[in-house]
Chains A and B, each alone.
Chain A
């Protein structure tokens, strides 16, 4: 766990929404190592999602620097960010964001078709325990199942980082645990650096490190000496 994957220096982001300016990030400094599981906690609007989006190349920072390994993300243009996302990053969103017109298998294939060294869609689905339901459409799957499809889709290309924005936000406890279990399994088996945003403080216990956000900054960082097993989680 020595190789640095992400390094952020004084990262800021200001949104102009309608007639108001929102300072979403106000100078974030951060380093994340390969294989780490990081949980970001903090109230709504504290900047977690903004940081995640910028780390994932979904958005541009307003100022500061952000590097992924040797790649300075803050210098990349749209084309560069697209190729970065394509090769290195997997996403899991709160609302799954599956394409409703594609089956579970096809949603995963959507990514494997454009990746360099992907696993087979059924392999990825097996990893999250969904192989039996791979020919179902999103509308035919429960929320937890949809989220696991999203995870399968995210990891199918063997990304180096997996960025998860409220992956259990829309799920009940039992399903949420299964989703976290899937994430941890991927982290253990593939060594994928995983960043999870959550409002659920219990999830922090499975992380290597927990970063607390408030008002666009990291207010506190905790390193878990002993991580809890997913099976022990309950909320």
Chain B
């Protein structure tokens, strides 16, 4: 087989550009899989290891004040293996050089040793010295945002008293991987920090000696979380306990879970699409490439080569191309995967990274690509090998062209002969034309599915930050206050309007489906915080009944008019029945909304508020901040503008980065397909086109015939490409929709235009290369030889 192998090698060199283009298509598919699944697995393993090593709890609860003696009773709950009871309080922080009030979660550390659960990973420094009340450890995100180093100091208002604190350590915690402040959805180190202090210092500040206000439990695997929380609630109830919850409702875990879920869903959606598309395209392209070898196959047969040897020869040919693609894809995919993992790990601030090796992914991606390439070759070979060598060595018999129009209606006179040639060529090879068009349409489609996320993020921002929430800031209080607190806030400098709202945690249930959510009660005519319906119109809250997120309605399988069961988890614990009165179109979290009078009636109390939304006079912001810092009842201030900026910086950045990577890979695939279509069709028609040159057609005219067909097929491919792109985007959107975040399917016109522009650019680039080839035609040689 030596001579055949030399032929193979030289053919690969001769066709290097096409072989490389096909290899890139293969590589694009392989890289996507490795990138997406690889980075997801690494991050997931990292999280598991992080939780394991630093003892992240399973069940969490807060309580007003419970005696330490209760801890031993909690430990007796069946299945509990560790209990971490501590003091944890929100406090307003006053940071030098930072006019906005920031919020801190102040948490106690035991005086001796490490806490049993939720242990710290110390980046630098040490834990607080119990004898020094000002010693604190802060989380890294907060320290970096304020450029704090060891020895930096800031103030906190602890239980109404301002204390100066000094940073002695900077740490990470599995409990605050996603350290998001009250009222926010994205971690913002400027305005929210975790502050760990010695228990002695904190207990004296809050008068909680020998008492705790927060508890986490570690459970034996298999222990019922529901039973444990019920027992824990029973123990904590008389000490002002709020309903205990599991990891699913722990905010950091839930968000991390959501982010990883999104990554996982993305890895389950995009790579299979990419891989299948690339497999299809490789199949298509190689099949055409092998068909071009018809005469050489005939010759080899004439020389006495067995079909099996010939088939093996071409399988090797496509196999090598596929292997080159797999190698490129593996290298690029591994590199991009590591890049992505590092990017996200940096965002989550994991203390370490567990890189998972994924031999299975290489095998799956490689095998699928190789299989597709081989099947493509076999498809072409089956036809050629079946021919008698004498027939195979002849150029293919002229296909029986048919006029598209009836014989009486001639195209002559209306269109030029070259145009007629193009139209006939397309219509007489319907399958080939269809597949080429399909290939280009798929290229457009995968570009759309990579690009559309950017548009949906903008839509999410638009609805969430401009249509629904129009406040400039939200002021929250440590404890609920009479709703008249809004008047007090309204009198602060710079405040234009103030609207109070009250939030209560509840469990909402339909049959056996249950979720823990927050119900927000607000004035019916609230102008700052509005309810948006599916048509994106603001709606007035119904006087009675509950408005819930449309997503929640889907989860609970309820519709407007259905009744849901609601366990009130604040104050008097009762279960009530509510009709679902309206569905809210929102994209972040799942929640309920109701009228504040109605909630007050339900809770059997006067209307209360835990937060007030305000609109501000921008020029008086600093005065407003200063006034707030002087109000001991205020626990936090969240700022609309910085929340949005943060959202853009973080979530949008991650999504945009991912979308850019996928778009890049999609563009490579698109180019590979279009370039190969052009090159193969040039080879298929070389003799015909050379004949035209002999007849006196100019190069430009000949080129026009070839490129007109490419242009026409490229253009025809766009509308189905858009439709398929929309379909793929729909699948992706549906797979990505989660309880914490989802998007409305919006494919901006610009996305279609951009996707098509990339494909058309690839076509133009291919045309330029083809033009060079046409200019180099050796007319005599093409006509006189059949090789």
Interface residues of A (CB under 8 A from B): 17-19, 53, 56, 58-60, 78-79, 82-83, 85-87, 89, 91, 93, 95-102, 106-107, 109-111, 113-115, 138, 153, 157, 170
Contact A95:B785 (CB < 8 A) given known A17-B397, A85-B302 = yes
Contact of B6 among A60, A83, A106 (CB under 8 A): A106
Contact of B307 among A82, A99, A115, A138 (CB under 8 A): A82
Complex alpha-carbon distance, A157 and B300, angstroms: 14
Q: Are B393 and A86 in contact, CB atoms less than 8 angstroms apart?
A: no
Q: Are A59 and B786 in contact, CB atoms less than 8 angstroms apart?
A: no
Contact of A58 among B14, B302, B305 (CB under 8 A): B302
Contact A91:B390 (CB < 8 A) given known A97-B787, A101-B7, A101-B11 = no
Q: Are B784 and A99 in contact, CB atoms less than 8 angstroms apart?
A: no
Complex alpha-carbon distance, A63 and B300, angstroms: 26
Q: Are B787 and A85 in contact, CB atoms less than 8 angstroms apart?
A: no
Q: Are A82 and B304 in contact, CB atoms less than 8 angstroms apart?
A: yes
Query: Interface readout for B378-394 with A: 1 if CB under 8 Å, 0 if not?
Result: 00000000001111010
A143 to chain B, nearest CB (A): 9
11 CB < 8 A contacts A-B: A17-B397, A56-B302, A58-B393, A59-B389, A82-B301, A82-B307, A85-B301, A85-B304, A86-B306, A109-B2, A138-B787
Q: Return chain A residues, CB-CB under 8 Å to B785.
A: 95-96
Complex alpha-carbon distance, A113 and B309, angstroms: 12
> B290-309: which residues lie under 8 A (CB-CB) from chain A?
295-296, 299-307, 309
B296 to chain A, nearest CB (A): 6
* Identity of the chain B residue whose Cβ is nearest the Cβ of A143 in the assembled complex: B784
Q: Are B400 and A97 in contact, CB atoms less than 8 angstroms apart?
A: no
Query: Interface readout for B749-787 with A: 1 if CB under 8 Å, 0 if not?
Result: 000000000000000000000000000000000001111
A169 to chain B, nearest CB (A): 10
* Identity of the chain B residue whose Cβ is nearest the Cβ of A88 in the assembled complex: B304
Q: Are A58 and B390 in contact, CB atoms less than 8 angstroms apart?
A: yes
Q: Are A102 and B7 in contact, CB atoms less than 8 angstroms apart?
A: yes
Q: Return chain A residues, CB-CB under 8 Å to B391.
A: 59
Q: Return chain B residues, CB-CB under 8 Å to A19.
A: 400
Complex alpha-carbon distance, A17 and B394, angstroms: 13
Interface bin, chain B? 20 to 34
* Identity of the chain B residue whose Cβ is nearest the Cβ of A115 in the assembled complex: B304
* Identity of the chain A residue whose Cβ is nearest the Cβ of B11 in the assembled complex: A101
Complex alpha-carbon distance, A140 and B390, angstroms: 27
Complex alpha-carbon distance, A89 and B3, angstroms: 20
Q: Are B4 and A110 in contact, CB atoms less than 8 angstroms apart?
A: yes
* Identity of the chain A residue whose Cβ is nearest the Cβ of B398 in the assembled complex: A18
Contact of A99 among B296, B301, B306, B309 (CB under 8 A): B296
Q: Are B2 and A58 in contact, CB atoms less than 8 angstroms apart?
A: no
Interface residues of B (CB under 8 A from A): 1-4, 6-7, 10-11, 14, 295-296, 299-307, 309, 388-391, 393, 397-400, 784-787
Q: Return chain B residues, CB-CB under 8 Å to A53.
A: 388, 390
B309 to chain A, nearest CB (A): 8
Contact A170:B4 (CB < 8 A) given known A86-B304, A101-B14 = no
Give the most central of B10, B301, B303, B399: most A CB within 10 Å.
B303
Give the most central of A58, A83, A170: most B CB within 10 Å.
A58
Contact of B389 among A58, A111, A114 (CB under 8 A): A58
Q: Return chain A residues, CB-CB under 8 Å to B306.
A: 79, 82, 86
Q: Are B786 and A102 in contact, CB atoms less than 8 angstroms apart?
A: no
Complex alpha-carbon distance, A56 and B390, angstroms: 9
Q: Return chain B residues, CB-CB under 8 Å to A101.
A: 6-7, 10-11, 14
Q: Return chain A residues, CB-CB under 8 Å to B303.
A: 85-86, 91, 110-111, 114, 153
Complex alpha-carbon distance, A58 and B388, angstroms: 6
B386 to chain A, nearest CB (A): 8
Q: Are B397 and A91 in contact, CB atoms less than 8 angstroms apart?
A: no
Q: Return chain B residues, CB-CB under 8 Å to A109.
A: 2-3
Complex alpha-carbon distance, A154 and B630, angstroms: 103
Contact of A111 among B10, B295, B304, B307 (CB under 8 A): B304
Q: Return chain B residues, CB-CB under 8 Å to A59.
A: 388-391
Complex alpha-carbon distance, A58 and B393, angstroms: 10
B277 to chain A, nearest CB (A): 31
Q: Return chain A residues, CB-CB under 8 Å to B296.
A: 99
Complex alpha-carbon distance, A114 and B312, angstroms: 15
B594 to chain A, nearest CB (A): 77
Q: Are B10 and A102 in contact, CB atoms less than 8 angstroms apart?
A: yes
* Identity of the chain B residue whose Cβ is nearest the Cβ of A157 in the assembled complex: B304
Which 8 pairs of residues, A with B, have the shortest CB-CB distance?
A: A86-B304, A101-B10, A58-B390, A53-B390, A59-B390, A110-B3, A85-B304, A18-B400
Complex alpha-carbon distance, A120 and B302, angstroms: 20
* Identity of the chain A residue whose Cβ is nearest the Cβ of B400 in the assembled complex: A18
Q: Are B389 and A95 in contact, CB atoms less than 8 angstroms apart?
A: no
Give the most central of A17, A53, A87, A138: most B CB within 10 Å.
A53
Q: Return chain B residues, CB-CB under 8 Å to A58.
A: 301-302, 388-390, 393
Complex alpha-carbon distance, A102 and B13, angstroms: 12
Complex alpha-carbon distance, A131 and B301, angstroms: 26
Q: Are B397 and A113 in contact, CB atoms less than 8 angstroms apart?
A: no
Contact of A102 among B1, B3, B307 (CB under 8 A): B3
Q: Return chain B residues, CB-CB under 8 Å to A110.
A: 3-4, 7, 300, 303
Q: Are A114 and B390 in contact, CB atoms less than 8 angstroms apart?
A: no
Q: Return chain B residues, CB-CB under 8 Å to A106.
A: 3, 6-7
Q: Are B7 and A99 in contact, CB atoms less than 8 angstroms apart?
A: yes
A214 to chain B, nearest CB (A): 21
* Identity of the chain B residue whose Cβ is nearest the Cβ of A89 in the assembled complex: B304
Q: Return chain A residues, CB-CB under 8 Å to B3.
A: 102, 106-107, 109-110, 113
Complex alpha-carbon distance, A97 and B301, angstroms: 12
Complex alpha-carbon distance, A93 and B394, angstroms: 11
Q: Return chain B residues, CB-CB under 8 Å to A100.
A: 787
Complex alpha-carbon distance, A89 and B303, angstroms: 8
Q: Return chain A residues, CB-CB under 8 Å to B304.
A: 82-83, 85-87, 89, 111, 114-115, 157
Complex alpha-carbon distance, A114 and B304, angstroms: 8
* Identity of the chain B residue whose Cβ is nearest the Cβ of A146 in the assembled complex: B785
Q: Return chain B residues, CB-CB under 8 Å to A111.
A: 303-304
Contact A98:B787 (CB < 8 A) given known A82-B304, A82-B307, A85-B304 = yes
Q: Return chain A residues, CB-CB under 8 Å to B301.
A: 58, 82, 85
Q: Return chain B residues, CB-CB under 8 Å to A18.
A: 397-400
Complex alpha-carbon distance, A122 and B389, angstroms: 27
Complex alpha-carbon distance, A60 and B390, angstroms: 9
Complex alpha-carbon distance, A82 and B302, angstroms: 8
* Identity of the chain A residue whose Cβ is nearest the Cβ of B389 in the assembled complex: A58
Q: Return chain B residues, CB-CB under 8 Å to A170.
A: 784
Q: Are A97 and B7 in contact, CB atoms less than 8 angstroms apart?
A: no
Q: Return chain B residues, CB-CB under 8 Å to A98.
A: 787
Complex alpha-carbon distance, A23 and B189, angstroms: 88
Q: Return chain B residues, CB-CB under 8 Å to A91.
A: 302-303
Instruction: Other than A95-B786, A110-B3, A170-B784, give 19 A-B pairs with Cβ distance below 8 A.
Output: A18-B397, A18-B399, A18-B400, A59-B390, A60-B388, A83-B304, A86-B305, A87-B304, A91-B302, A93-B393, A95-B787, A97-B786, A99-B787, A102-B3, A102-B10, A111-B303, A114-B303, A114-B304, A138-B787
A93 to chain B, nearest CB (A): 8
Give the most central of A85, A114, A115, A153: most B CB within 10 Å.
A114
B48 to chain A, nearest CB (A): 54
Complex alpha-carbon distance, A69 and B393, angstroms: 27
Complex alpha-carbon distance, A100 and B10, angstroms: 9
Q: Return chain A residues, CB-CB under 8 Å to B4.
A: 110, 113
B677 to chain A, nearest CB (A): 24
A73 to chain B, nearest CB (A): 13
A200 to chain B, nearest CB (A): 17
Q: Return chain A residues, CB-CB under 8 Å to B784.
A: 95, 170
Complex alpha-carbon distance, A111 and B304, angstroms: 8
Complex alpha-carbon distance, A18 and B400, angstroms: 6
Complex alpha-carbon distance, A98 and B3, angstroms: 12
Q: Return chain A residues, CB-CB under 8 Å to B295.
A: 97
